[in-house]
């Protein structure tokens, strides 16, 4: 009998606690984005690769841009952002080991950009790729340039 009353008391306590929580829980409100906070994402442009070719290095040049984030860096790659020539940063990266070479530009990271200054529109200018044929290796690498904005 005492065991049943204890179980009933715990059930009632659980119901009261749940009711109080749902009545007084904090409500999450989505952050308000200002017009100037709109996000722009840019990707490395596509490049045509021959059979068994892989990308071993990549560089992307921007104009009137601030690079806010660099996302989805492939394993075995490292990237750097050169901001010595504002407002035109250069993002470049390459592999640490041969096995990290990627088979398409879609596997490379993408960027969140913001315009540099009032009313400036961030834009990519050109991309440079170093492409090597595997398994022959980097001694037969070739350079590919993709003009984005003319």
Residue 42 neighbours by CB distance under 10 Å: 18
* Structure token digits, residue 70: 């660099």
Q: Is-cis flag, bond preceding 135, omega within 30? A: yes
Q: DSSP secondary-structure letter at 38?
A: -
Q: What is the pLDDT of residue 28?
A: 53
In angstroms, the Cα distances linking 115 to 8, 60, 64, 82, 83 are: 62, 16, 6, 16, 14
Residue 3, pLDDT above cutoff 70:
yes
Q: In this predicted model, what pLDDT tens digit does every residue of 97-115 receive, in sequence order?
A: 888 889 999 999 998 888 8
**Rounded to an integer, what distance in angstroms lies between the CA atom of residue 136 and that of residue 53?**
9
What's the gap between Cα 135 and its chain centre? 29
Sorting pLDDT into bands at 50, 70 and 90, what band is 30?
low
- Mean pLDDT calculated for residue range 65-90: 88
Beta carbons of 111 and 147 less than 8 angstroms apart: no
Q: In this predicted model, what pLDDT tens digit does every residue of 118-138 receive, in sequence order?
A: 777 888 889 999 998 877 655
Residue 34, pLDDT above cutoff 50:
no
Q: What is the pLDDT of residue 44?
A: 92
Q: What is the pLDDT of residue 95?
A: 92
Residue 26 neighbours by CB distance under 10 Å: 5
The pTM of the full predicted model, rounded to 2 decimals, is 0.68
């Amino acid at each position: 009998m005492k065991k049943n009353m204890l179980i009933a008391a715990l059930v009632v306590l659980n119901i009261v606690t749940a009711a109080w929580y749902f009545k007084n829980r904090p409500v999450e409100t989505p952050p308000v984005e200002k017009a100037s906070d709109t996000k722009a994402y840019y990707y490395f442009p596509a490049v045509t690769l021959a059979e068994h070719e892989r990308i071993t290095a990549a560089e992307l040049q921007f104009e009137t841009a601030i690079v806010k984030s660099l996302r989805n860096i492939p394993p075995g790659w490292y990237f750097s952002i050169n901001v010595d020539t504002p407002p035109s940063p250069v993002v470049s990266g390459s592999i640490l080991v041969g096995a990290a070479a990627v088979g398409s530009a879609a596997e490379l990271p993408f960027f969140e950009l913001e315009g540099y200054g009032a009313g400036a529109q961030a834009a990519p200018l050109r991309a440079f790729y170093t492409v090597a044929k595997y398994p022959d290796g980097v001694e037969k690498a070739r350079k590919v340039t993709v003009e984005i904005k003319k």
